[in-house]
Structure 1
Amino acid sequence: MLKFEHITEIGGYGKVNSWEKVYQEWKSFPDLEVTLKEELEHIKDDPKALEDAFYKELTFGTGGMRGVLGPGTNRMNIYTVRKAVNGLAKYLLENVVNVKDRGVVIAYDSRYMSKEFAVETAKVLGAYDIKAHVFESLRPTPLLSFAVRYLATAAGVMITASHNPPEYNGFKVYNEDGGQMVPSEANQVIAAIKETENELSVPVLEQDELEEKQLINWVGQYIDNAYLDQLRQITKMDQNGLTQNKDLQIVFTPLHGTANDLVLRGLEQLHFENVDVVKEQAIPDPEFSTVASPNPEEHQAFTLAIELGKQKNADILLGTDPDADRLGVAVKNKDGEYTVLTGNQLGALFADYLLSHSEQAVLNNARFIKTIVTSELGRAIATSYGVETINTLTGFKYIGEKIRQFDATGETFILGYEESYGYLIRSFARDKDAVQAAVMACEMSHYWKQQGKTLLDALEVLYEKHGYYLEGLTSLTLKGKEGSEKITEIMEAIRKNPLTTVGGLTVEKTEDYLSSERVIISSKQTETIELPKENVYKMLLENNSWVCLRPSGTEPKIKCYYGVCESTKDQSESTLAALKETMETFMNQIIEK
């Protein structure tokens, strides 16, 4: 039986006869960067390593690209970055106005080669006379999103691999609105990238030329200060509550990433003064040496924060991922132990707090945004306040796109979140923002502490009112060419032979986002799904339960999401377990076939 949540290596790497030619081109390239040349020499007698490095080009998806560092077309290095930027530059010059004057803003995180890739980005843009605004030191992803809007640049680039392992880095592209590029934009960038035949020959200007021609502008603290001015305004506290010192005990860890300065300054300006930082994790470290994974979704990432929290008797623990777009929160349970909230739980608490502290005039035009695999508890809460909920596909780019539409329609954005620890409170940034979320989580925790409750107590109140919503996830990694084929087989199987029951519950509707078709099983009626096409398949079951299958767009994974709503915790846990057992058996049978 396949063990889920673990990496499974399946098979080989694909086209054999083309990668060797590309490898020889790299090997014989006279100006190959020294470190990459040394690494290539190191693996010259390892055919499997060479094939993996060259058998394909690193995939550029809708959000950009992400991969292992090293030589080769299937790796993150200065040449694959240059090729991506070359395509971006061509796209911008053809599709965006005043590109050369407005320029592109570039930020980077604490990973290996991040600053180098940021400078390489500027060097390629400079060859097209496009100005680059590059942060002088590492910054969070949400600040990059804000900077695009603040500087009114033509685009933004963030060098990060988010919470991936240390050997990874990535390249994320933002449109002129500060949101991640949506497919209609990204597809044009991808087409422009494909026109660049040889990544080794992309034209660049050297850094001294950029300086001389004033094509590089080093960005400093003034962007941070402008962001903090906006951050101060997200509070729901009145002036008296805002200025008083808070007795909330906070422990914070940036997990060796970029969030330390902005989170601390954001809390300080709201007069949260009892903040202790996990010292071992406050220093940027590309090895992320104190954690198995720098991902606040993984409970092990809170180990040191929990130790410090117990010493300080902390009310709340905060953890941000390396590029500070995801936030994890832990609070004490009735036994005095720290419990890490799920993304769905924290999102529901945000929804209730923000909506309960908003005026009716705001609520009348307010819109709450979530994804199709995010808990329905948020919708139930929004509905109770008379607020409309909007579903998007998975990926914060779609939430950002919807906010951009609100700028034209006059609708009011009130909150957006994903189950994967991504939240946006206010739209001065257009990507998930762990800095905003960290400050608001502390404000919310302070509010409930004044009522004699913890966040867990507040959550229980929501369950009692709306039903016991519970969610789960099976994440299966299948590497290599055959792994990709197995993921395709799973999706084909669920479409060709649809399940009629899952975990003993009847399937009432199916939603195939690839065909944009919703089928009502009892009447066999069909409806059109008004969302972009994507390889996602969802089953809506009786008793408000659901299951959704989705291949990852950035990793060799297929994910199965589950949602249930029963009247008690025990009933929800039992139903959830039944759904997971059915779907894991279904996937396992296809993989082992």
Structure 2
Amino acid sequence: MNYRQEYEKWLASPALSEDERNELKAIANDEKEIENRFYGPLEFGTAGLRGTMYVGLHNMNRHVIRWATQGFANVIRAEGEEAMKKGVAICMDCRNHSMEFARAAACVMAGNGITVKLFESLRPTPELSFAVREYGCEAGINVTASHNPKEYNGYKVYWSDGAQLPPQHAAAIAKELEHIDIFTGVTSMDFDEAVNKGLITMLGEDCDKRFMANVMSMVNDYETVKKVADDFKLVYTPFHGCGHKLVPEALTRLGIKHLLCVPEQMVIDGNFPTVVSPNPENPEGFYLAIDLAKKNDVDFILGTDPDSDRVGIMVRNKQGEFEPVTGNQTGVLLLDYLIGAMKRAGKLPANAAALKTIVTTEMARAVAEANGLDCYDTFTGFKFMAEKMNELEGAGKNTVIFSYEESYGYMIGHYVRDKDAVTASLLLTEMAAWYYSQGMTLFDALNALFEKYGWYGEKTHNLVMPGLDGAEKMAALMKSLRETPPSEIAGVKVATYKDYSDGTARDAASGEVTKIALSGSNVLRFELCDGTHIVVRPSGTEPKIKVYILTKGANAQERDANLAKYSAWVNTLA
């Protein structure tokens, strides 16, 4: 069926509401828009689905949600009666239609005889991961597009360990979806009927209490917080999202007396009216927090994204201005602090380890190894970190105390298997208070770490390739870099080529090929003679190629010069 036939099929379907049909009629003369919406379904991957909220096969809407849930339900049913009884936990964020989509998913699961634990209202993503584990569910669904702009929504899927789906289960769902008609192939049940039959039960306060008990168990140093509580202050913003309740609760329970929340952004609103993008990676979104901090003589700002799985911080520099701390730098600060704090509290295990992704700063490895910890790399995504944690701890080899990736995600503790901005916010605040007790801001602390471990620097470039031909352009660039890789980059020779798709490393001088620990992902790594690493990979959720520069200089000036030099080369790829 071509895109025009698919469009006509949707237009004629009795499943559409009048508003949905009118939306499709409005694009009747826009061939390009019809093609964009109906050229094919959203691809179901390990991150589930993500797209813009319009009526269409290639968009996020209630019909696509039901279709995806039917595929997921088939996979759960294939696991047997016990899996169906264990059921599915379902959560949602603050976005427009998130509750509607979550209820639609719950009704399809119930229609397939699978029990559902549905959150009564929006909750942070880590609480969904926690709920799957805590209540012994077979799987989980979270309706969220994380930090994407307001037009987007998404559908994240989790397995029984509380981590996002491993590739084999994602592939099984994708295969099921090939055979399911989006309108006639879905079995659903009326919501009230499902509740009355006991197939849908609600989650809320009980889960909050259990989750927060685990979060608070991660505190290392109540005493220092108590000592500085009369003077230490911070500003917090949830960017209109799910952190609005549990993050302030955690910080208050830590002992923070002067917590200033940005009032305009404490309002739950899926339109994110005060920001262009509700992403804590984008410092411009912190403008209201900065104003509040300056008015109240605050040095530390904390912000969580709409589903409260990512957290960003800003700190006041020597000039009195606020500057962002990158995800890489925040992770290094937190890892170094946790090692020290856990030692002081007698909580650091003898075989402690840290996990990071292949695109996360090598400074993390330097911090871990200098303090006697093992440090392991994984592919990007917390499902891979969860797998590695389970593998290491199952074998009795290591106890993982900290896992992180450069895109502002941190996982601490053993009660979740996804990034967790609630726990991370708690420990970042404890860390800021500890440095405050030493007469230091986090700006001072970061510079002290550079002096101690080396002047590492990182920069991520996003080569955006939207539209119908975007996927082709992305594939063409990866093919070109794989088949005819550069012998030098910005005048510096490449020493080693690593291809994570087949798990090989090729020495540039000798041509010798060896195996590396990781394989099975479409990622290329160029390791240069000056110690710089450049990593290239397609995004798993958005139409763009991500290029990561990981470098180190003898000092800040040399580091910054390296970043500028290699960034100029990256820009030639676009």
**Pairwise same-fold verdict (TM > 0.5):** yes
Bigger Cα displacement from structure 2, 568-577 vs 195-204? 195-204
- 1:193 paired residue number: 177
Alignment check: 8 A CA contact 1:161 1:171 kept: yes
String of CA shifts for 1:538-562, please: whole Å, max 9, x gaps: 0111232110111111111011110
- 1:19 paired residue number: 3
1:126 to 100, 104, 110: 110
2:211 to 227, 251, 268: 227
2:426 to 439, 450, 474: 439
2:535 to 520, 528, 548: 548
Between the aligned residues of both structures, percent identity stands at 38
| Mapping for residues 60-459 of structure 1, pairs under 5 Å | 60-95=44-79, 98-237=82-221, 240-241=223-224, 246=229, 247-359=231-343, 362-410=348-396, 411-459=398-446
- 1:591 paired residue number: none
2:564 to 557, 577, 580: 577
For residue 38 of structure 1, report the CA deviation from its aligned partner. 2.4
String of CA shifts for 1:336-363, please: whole Å, max 9, x gaps: 1111100000000011011122348845
For residue 366 of structure 1, report the CA deviation from its aligned partner. 1.1
- 1:102 aligned partner, one-letter code: K
**SS in structure 1 of the partner of residue 436 of structure 2:** helix
How far apart in 2 are the matches of 1:509 and 1:55? Answer: 40
State whether structure 2 residue 498 is matched by structure 1 residue 498: no
Change (3 A) 1:34 1:532: farther
Alignment check: 8 A CA contact 2:64 2:182 kept: no
For residue 407 of structure 1, report the CA deviation from its aligned partner. 4.1
Which blocks of at least 5 consecutive residues in structure 1 are unaligned? Answer: 1-16, 589-593
State whether structure 2 residue 552 is matched by structure 1 residue 568: no
Change (3 A) 1:185 1:162: same
String of CA shifts for 1:475-505, please: whole Å, max 9, x gaps: 1111123222121111111112111111222
- 2:456 aligned partner, one-letter code: Y
**SS in structure 2 of the partner of residue 413 of structure 1:** strand
Change (3 A) 1:378 1:97: farther
- 2:367 aligned partner, one-letter code: I
Change (3 A) 1:242 1:340: closer
How far apart in 1 are the matches of 2:571 and 2:350? Answer: 43
- 1:12 paired residue number: none
For residue 94 of structure 1, report the CA deviation from its aligned partner. 1.7
For residue 406 of structure 1, report the CA deviation from its aligned partner. 3.4
Alignment check: 8 A CA contact 1:363 1:387 kept: no
Alignment check: 8 A CA contact 1:19 1:55 kept: yes
How far apart in 1 are the matches of 2:65 and 2:185? Answer: 12
For residue 245 of structure 1, report the CA deviation from its aligned partner. 6.3
How far apart in 1 are the matches of 2:261 and 2:348? Answer: 36
How far apart in 1 are the matches of 2:183 and 2:262? Answer: 42
Alignment check: 8 A CA contact 1:366 1:413 kept: yes
Alignment check: 8 A CA contact 2:63 2:182 kept: no
- 1:105 aligned partner, one-letter code: A
For residue 301 of structure 1, report the CA deviation from its aligned partner. 0.9
Alignment check: 8 A CA contact 2:36 2:468 kept: no
Bigger Cα displacement from structure 2, 424-433 vs 199-208? 199-208
Segments of 4+ moved more than 4 angstroms:
242-245
**SS in structure 1 of the partner of residue 342 of structure 2:** coil
How far apart in 1 are the matches of 2:149 and 2:183? Answer: 25
How far apart in 1 are the matches of 2:510 and 2:531? Answer: 19
For residue 369 of structure 1, report the CA deviation from its aligned partner. 0.4
Bigger Cα displacement from structure 2, 106-115 vs 481-490? 481-490
Which blocks of at least 5 consecutive residues in structure 2 are unaligned? Answer: none
How far apart in 1 are the matches of 2:18 and 2:197? Answer: 27
For residue 417 of structure 1, report the CA deviation from its aligned partner. 0.6
- 1:541 aligned partner, one-letter code: L
- 2:512 aligned partner, one-letter code: Q
- 2:395 aligned partner, one-letter code: T
RMSD: 1.5
- 1:189 aligned partner, one-letter code: I
How far apart in 2 are the matches of 1:375 and 1:95? Answer: 40
Aligned residues: 570
String of CA shifts for 1:344-402, please: whole Å, max 9, x gaps: 00000011011122348845311110000100000000000111111011112211221
- 1:494 aligned partner, one-letter code: L
**SS in structure 2 of the partner of residue 481 of structure 1:** coil
- 1:516 aligned partner, one-letter code: G
**SS in structure 1 of the partner of residue 565 of structure 2:** helix
- 1:479 paired residue number: 466
